[in-house]
Structure 1
Amino acid sequence: MNGEMILGYDVEQLRQTLNIKDTHIHYFVLTHYWFKADPYFIAAPYDHKTMNALVAFIQGEASKINETFGLNPEDVTKILKQFYECDELDTDEINQITSKIGMISFLEFFHKIDLVNNWESGDGSNIPSFEREGLKNFIRAIIVEVQSHVD
Structure 2
Amino acid sequence: MTREAMAAFMFRMDGTSSYQAPKVSPFADVKPGDKFYREISWMHSQGLSTGTRQTSGKPLFQPKAALSREAMAAFMFRLEKPKAYQAPKVSVFSDMKPSDKFYREVSWMYASKLTTGYKAPNGSRSFGPKQSLTREAMAAFMYRLETTLRLK
TM-score bucket (shorter structure): under 0.3
Question: Could you state the TM-score of these two structures normalised by the residue count of structure 1?
Answer: 0.25
TM-score, normalised on structure 2? 0.25
Higher strand share: 1
Greater RCO (Cα-Cα under 8 Å, separation 6 or more):
1
Task: Determine which structure has the larger helix proportion and give its number.
Answer: 1
